[in-house]
Amino acid sequence: MKENKRTILFLVLGSFFIANAIIAEFIGVKIFSLEKTLGINAIDWNIFGNTLSLNLTAGVLLWPIVFIMTDIINEYFGHNGVRLFSYIAAALVAYAFAAVYLTIKLAPADFWINKETTLGTVNMQASFNAIFGQGLWIIIGSLVAFLAGQVVDVWVFHAVKKRTGEKMLWLRSTGSTLVSQFIDSFVVLFIAFYIGAGWDLKLVLGIGVVNYFYKFIVAVVLTPLLYLVHKVIDTYLGKELAEQMMKEAAKQ
């Protein structure tokens, strides 16, 4: 029964982790205004000589969840569990992009190309290509940033845990998330837009600061959720099995 619970938890956490990573990649093509969404005036910041507002990729809605799931998996299954799901997620993201690329190349049916909507005639083929046809550098940047962030998250998590033991869950989890999110925010922008698109470095750094500011706030706000998930898992596993699994994970 204990092995069943351990296996079920491993599959549930891993599936949720991978699903969120893939969904975050695809919804990331949309840029939204946080100020307009919240119904507040735009916050115009002058960062590195650029005036920037909180215009964010929609992927930032789910990436904090991905890194929280990283810490939960790390807590109960150690870095081997995180590494396994990180590699699977990266492979499946690459597979998904390859599938989309092949789909874009398919010749559209004549009746599907133009669609009448309340906003006028929409070219479905052009819209599909524009939304899902991300550039190669963006894909590379996303995958490299994701894997780099995961490696840093695991390292910081265990470094803090070695010094604090089982206490201060918020410090090792939120702390590792804040560090890994910092790496993730700047690596993806640097590869996708500085190397891939030739953007000015100051603009890339400014956008990175804005994105990280949002992720920092969200990571702190979601800390209570971490404790809630931890408590639900401990209740499901039982105190004895939960402690056993955490001790085994810490030894890795």
pLDDT in tens, 28-87: 888 889 899 989 888 888 888 888 888 888 888 888 888 888 889 999 999 899 999 999
Give the three-state DSSP class for 50. Answer: strand
- In 3D space, the residue among 44, 56, 70, 81 whose CA is nearest the CA of residue 178 turns out to be 70
pLDDT tens per residue, range 173-224 = 888 888 988 998 899 889 988 898 788 999 889 888 988 888 889 888 988 9
User: Taking the model in full, what pTM does it have?
Assistant: 0.85
Given a cut of 80, whether residue 252 has pLDDT beyond it is no
pLDDT tens per residue, range 113-167 = 998 888 789 999 998 988 888 777 888 888 899 899 888 988 898 888 888 877 8
Q: What is the CB neighbour count within 10 angstroms for residue 75? A: 26
Alpha-carbon gap, residue 26 to 23, rounded angstroms: 5
If you ran DSSP here, which 8-state letter would residue 106 be given? S
| Domains of the chain: residue spans and CATH | 2-251 (1.10.1760.20)
Given a cut of 90, whether residue 234 has pLDDT beyond it is yes
Alpha-carbon gap, residue 198 to 188, rounded angstroms: 14
Q: Which contacts qualify for 90-96: CB closer than 8 Å, 24 or more apart?
A: 90/143, 90/146, 90/147, 92/18, 92/22, 93/21, 93/22, 93/25, 93/142, 93/143, 93/146, 94/139, 94/143, 96/22, 96/25, 96/26
User: What is the end-to-end Cα distance of the chain in Å, rounded?
Assistant: 24
Alpha-carbon gap, residue 200 to 208, rounded angstroms: 13
Q: Kindly state the tokens that stand for 144.
A: 């490299």
Q: Kindly state the tokens that stand for 44.
A: 């115009």
pLDDT band of 228, cuts 50, 70, 90: very high
Query: How would you classify residue 106: left for phi > 0, otherwise alpha for psi between -120 and 50, otherwise beta?
Result: beta
pLDDT score of 102? 93
Given a cut of 90, whether residue 92 has pLDDT beyond it is yes
pLDDT band of 105, cuts 50, 70, 90: very high
Query: Angle 73-74-77 (CA atoms, 0-180°, nearest 5)?
Result: 70
Query: Angle 30-194-42 (CA atoms, 0-180°, nearest 5)?
Result: 45
As to burial, measured by CB atoms within 10 angstroms (0-12 exposed, 13-18 middle, 19+ buried), residue 82 is buried
Give the three-state DSSP class for 185. Answer: helix
